Structures are given as C-alpha cells and as structure tokens.
Amino acid sequence: MIKSDGIRILSIELNNNGKDSLIWGLNSKKQYDTTFGYVISYSFAHEPINQLPAIMQNQRSWRKIWGLQLPTKIKTFFWRVVHESLPVLSLIHQHFQSTLPLCPRYKLAPETIIYCLRWCGPAQEIWGTVDLKLVPPLQSVSSFVEWWTQVLLGTGSGREGDDALNIFAALLLGIVEHT
C-alpha cells in the first residue's frame, strides 16, 4: 500500500456510537446458516446444475428414481451410474495414466459405464434375452445418461412403467455384480 493512502485511511473518523452487526449477503435472511454453508461448499466441488445433462437437472426424473419400489442399494447404485461415479477403467485412467482404460475381459474398447452396462459381451447377452420395450436399440445410445433419457421417455407413467423401470434398474445392478 502507498504510505499516503495509509495515512488517509487512518485519518477517517469513526462513529463510535453505532452498533456493529454481521451481515451475510448471500441469502435473503442476511444471516449465515449451515444449510447455506453446505450449498456453497457443494458448489465448489460440483458443476453448476445448469451445466449438467438435462436428465440430471430434471427433478421429475429424480423423483421417479427415488420413488421406485427398489432396495436403497439399487437406487444408490443408479445414482452413482448417472453421476458417473463407478470405478470403471476409463475414469480410473484419467487419474492414473499407468492404468489401461481397456475392458480387461475383451480389450476391444475402453471400459466406460455404458460399455459395462450395455455393450460388453455378458451385458449384451442379458439385454438380448430380456423382453423389455424400454431397452433402446444397441447403436442408438452413446452414454448412460442418453440411454436413461430414452428409457424414461419410453416407459410412460403408471404402474406398468414403474414395473419396467424397476426391472431395468435391477438388471443394471445384476450385470455389474455378476460379470
């Protein structure tokens, strides 16, 4: 700081009769609370919601997932799949370059989430035997989020749609656990 600026700042008269108060300008109450602190800390580690794929922004889609009559284990697995937080080799390779991203079984393609759940040999066999109209054609999807969007659009609402989604989600977990 320039010395003359410091002298000018120190010469400012202060009003000692006023009352000091802390104001948190980031919410309407003007007071800090832990909920808002969590929102701020979450935003440091996550993308803004408007930059996420549409399926992840859509609250109706998430209500649909959490409303399914499935064990919490399957719903949590499903959440991890949509958020691309499964430990597949393509994601591990991004952090550890010495790890090969290829499918360890066939070594034909990078092991991505959609590859494991849809295109890998055992997964293809399972989807080939399941008579679900909600499974889009094999070549029509390039990511899990895109696949899930097509599945949601194809099931509609009501009991029949929920049953199909329950089967779909359970099959996904079964593929991962048994391949």
Count of C-beta atoms within a 10 Å radius of residue 152? 19
For the chain, report the end-to-end CA distance as a whole number of angstroms.
65
Q: Give the pLDDT of the chain (179 residues) as one tens digit per residue.
A: 789 998 999 998 887 787 777 777 777 888 888 888 887 887 777 666 666 666 566 666 677 778 888 888 888 888 888 778 889 999 899 989 999 999 998 888 999 998 888 888 888 888 888 776 656 665 667 778 777 777 777 665 566 677 777 888 888 888 888 76
The answer to whether 106 and 120 are in contact (CB under 8 A) is yes
